């Protein structure tokens, strides 16, 4: 089966916030993404609320009919949202306050005890857990010991080297996905995946369950329209 597409709509909120008001509407964008075939909606409500706000997150939880995925650093604010909203998935990222975008995975050896406690708490609320991670085999094996349901591969390095050497770019992810499978971890992926590199990634990672894509998809929607963009990304996930 093709991996699921979760559309990250942070950039819709960024555009809205540049002018104020409610145009474009993140709620309308989420509804349309689902209408056009998206399997889920992802948001990352950062503490400074520079794009998706806490209010957006609560409002979206009432109207998203597919899978709702909330990303964030698991501080008290984030955990309160997860407890109250009970999304389909909570994706934990190691971002410090003020970082521009998620550009590194968890050190699951250093933070293993911290992650064990957080993940146990979130799972007790009936929410699937995922952690943002790189392709280091030791970190993936350590991730399995936290009790997490899935890992989300940070695919920035893959996208960066894709054009110059595709086999070399994908190789670490193939190896890492095999280890994840052995550890019985589900596999998600995200960061800089695009219409250029998504199909190659999906075909080479056969156990890929879900991709979360925002910046590239929303940027393509400016040229292609949101409906075309969502449908094209879905098509690229066909293995």
pLDDT in tens, 106-164: 999 999 999 999 999 999 999 999 999 999 999 999 999 999 999 999 999 999 999 99
Q: Does the active-site annotation cover 215?
A: no
How far, in Å, CA of 147 to CA of 237, rounded?
28
Range of the domain at 154: 4-236
- For the chain, the domain total comes to 1
User: pLDDT above 70 covers what percent of the chain?
Assistant: 97
44 is catalytic: yes
Q: How far apart are CA 239 and CA 84, in angstroms?
A: 37
Rounded to 5°, angle at Cα 164 from 161 and 165: 80
**Which of 27, 24, 23 lies closest to 41 in space, CA to CA?**
27
- pLDDT value at 97 more than 60: no
Average predicted confidence (pLDDT) for the chain: 95
Q: Which is the catalytic residue, given 34, 67, 71, 152?
A: 71
Looking at residue 1, its pLDDT comes to 79
Q: For residue range 21-31, list pLDDT tens digits in order.
A: 999 999 999 99
pLDDT of 224 reads: 97
Whether this model's pTM surpasses 0.85? yes
Any idea what the CATH number is for the domain that residue 230 is in? 3.20.20.70
Encode pLDDT of 157-183 as tens digits: 999 999 999 999 999 999 999 999 999
Over 90: is that where the pLDDT of 103 sits? no
Catalytic hit among 51, 134, 191, 236: 191
Q: Which of 44, 67, 134, 152 is catalytic?
A: 44
Q: Does pLDDT of 74 surpass 60?
A: yes
Q: Tell me if residue 191 is catalytic.
A: yes
């Amino acid at each position: 089966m093709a991996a699921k597409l979760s559309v990250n709509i942070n950039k819709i909120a960024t555009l809205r916030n540049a002018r104020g008001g409610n145009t474009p509407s993140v709620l309308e964008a989420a509804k349309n993404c689902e209408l056009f075939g998206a399997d889920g909606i992802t948001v990352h409500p950062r503490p400074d609320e520079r794009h998706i706000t806490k209010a957006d997150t609560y409002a979206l939880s009432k109207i998203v009919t597919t899978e709702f995925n909330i990303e964030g650093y698991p501080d008290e604010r984030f955990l309160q949202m997860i407890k109250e909203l009970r999304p389909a998935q909570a994706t934990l990222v190691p971002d410090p306050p003020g970082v521009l975008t998620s550009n590194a995975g968890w050190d699951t050896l250093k933070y293993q005890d911290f992650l064990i406690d957080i993940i146990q708490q979130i799972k007790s609320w009936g929410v699937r857990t995922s952690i943002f991670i790189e392709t280091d085999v030791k970190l993936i094996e350590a991730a399995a010991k936290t009790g997490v349901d899935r890992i989300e591969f940070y695919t920035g390095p893959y996208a960066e080297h894709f054009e110059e050497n595709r086999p070399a770019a994908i190789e670490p992810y193939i190896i890492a996905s095999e280890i994840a499978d052995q550890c019985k971890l589900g596999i998600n992926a995200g960061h800089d995946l695009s219409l250029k590199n998504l199909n190659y990634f999906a075909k080479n990672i056969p156990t890929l369950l879900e991709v979360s894509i925002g910046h590239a998809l929303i940027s393509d929607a400016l040229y292609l329209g949101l409906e075309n963009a969502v449908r094209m990304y879905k098509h690229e996930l066909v293995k």
